[in-house]
Amino acid sequence: MTAASKTLLGCAVLALVALAASAPAQHQGHEQHTTTPPSSSPTGGAPPGGASQGSGGSRKVTMEELHRSGGVPLGWKFTLPGGDPAKGRQVFVDLECYKCHAVHGENFPAAGGDAKNVGPELTGMGGQHPAEYFAESILTPNAVILEGPGYMGRDGKSIMPSYADSLSVTQLVDLVAFLKSLTAGVHHVHAAAPAEKTAGNYMVRLDYRSGGGHAGHEGHAGHGGAAAAPGHLMVFIADRATGEPVPYLPVSATVSAPGKPARRVTLAPMVGGQGFHYGVNVALPDGTHTITVTIGAVAIQTMASARGRFAKPVTVVFERGA
């Protein structure tokens, strides 16, 4: 490759990173996020044909492969670099974010102002959203606006100002790292945060929306009496290489909890507010429990280019906290 070609390639990569950093995610106060699949693989597994794309890994591709797949590698997704939570906390203080956002357990001054101009509490928020979600809220708060007091002003725009011109890249990633560290205390969503794992040729994301009419609940409301209302268990299965949903798979889940008999349920393919997924209405036990997702071989004819990729059954185990 000539020196000129290398320069052009470097500029193209920088442009892609800049575009990805500004891609729409969610505002910090939103009740749920709907990105599918999430931007990183907690298991750290390497995608087919290359190393992990997350922090600490790299992936080799040819220019021809980039051109064939629309300018980025198959399955590529921008991931915000990791930062220093302690330094991010200082950025939070320097920007006086505590004036609008309360954080229980921190010795920040109490949030002031009236309810219409105070942003959402951040206690426990770190476990509810990906890093890129927080980054967008800081840089482009009007990308997604949640209607209601504390989020939207009379002009229809977010009451949160943009800090795009106030922060260096290092300060941004450190501030996001601090927000991601806020996992203890009261959560603003009445359900556990979605969990994702990579297994075989799949990226598998597990999400559960409790009964009782909470936002994002695709099932029916609870019945009367003391019995717990069934929620909606969702399993999102995507091709690990392309990120595309994989339909026509036999999917089941076994729910196990200490002192209780295991329960097996069959999930059906369906479309809801969060897109295509395999789902079932079921009440999960309170406290710590395990959900084992079993994915069978694909049930439709596959072309030669994909033959064998989805033929092997896969089992994924998710531990759910109290």
Domain end (from 180, 205, 231)? 180
Range from 26-30, 45-49, 101-105, 161-165 that averages highest in pLDDT? 161-165
Domain residues for the domain of 135 are 85-180
How far apart CA 188 and CA 128 sit, in angstroms, is 8
* Better pLDDT: 121 or 267: 267
Same domain, 121 and 207: no
Question: Residue 158 to residues 22, 63, 119, 138, 146: CA-CA distances in angstroms?
Answer: 16, 41, 10, 11, 8
Q: How many residues does the chain have?
A: 322
Which pLDDT value is given to residue 115? Answer: 58
Question: Which pLDDT tens digit goes with each residue over 275-312?
Answer: 899 999 998 887 778 999 999 998 888 888 777 888 88
C-alpha 227: how far from its chain's center?
31
153 and 253 in a single domain? The answer is no
pLDDT in tens, 211-263: 654 333 333 333 344 445 688 999 999 988 888 899 999 999 999 988 889 99
Tell me what pLDDT residue 80 has. 92
Reduced to 3 states (helix: H, G, I; strand: E, B; else coil), residue 110 is coil
Neighbours of 252 (CB within 10 A): 16
pLDDT bin (cut points 50, 70, 90) of residue 53 is very low
Q: Are residues 172 and 211 in the same domain?
A: no
**311 and 227 share a domain?**
yes
**272 DSSP β-pair partners:** 275
Write phi, then psi, for 209 (nearest 5 degrees). Answer: -110, 120
Q: Do 151 and 119 touch, CB atoms closer than 8 A?
A: yes
pLDDT bracket for residue 134 (50, 70, 90): very high
Residue 206 domain-assigned (yes or no): yes
My answer on whether 227 and 176 are in the same domain is no
Q: Is the overall model pTM greater than 0.75, yes or no?
A: no
In a domain, 14, yes or no: no
Distance CA 195, CA 41 (A): 10
* Domain contains 77: no
The domain that holds 147 is classified in CATH as 1.10.760.10
Mean pLDDT for the chain?
Answer: 76
CATH number at residue 246: 2.60.40.2480
Number of domains present in the structure of the chain = 2
- Per-residue pLDDT band for 78 (boundaries 50, 70, 90) equals confident
> Does residue 300 share a domain with residue 246?
yes
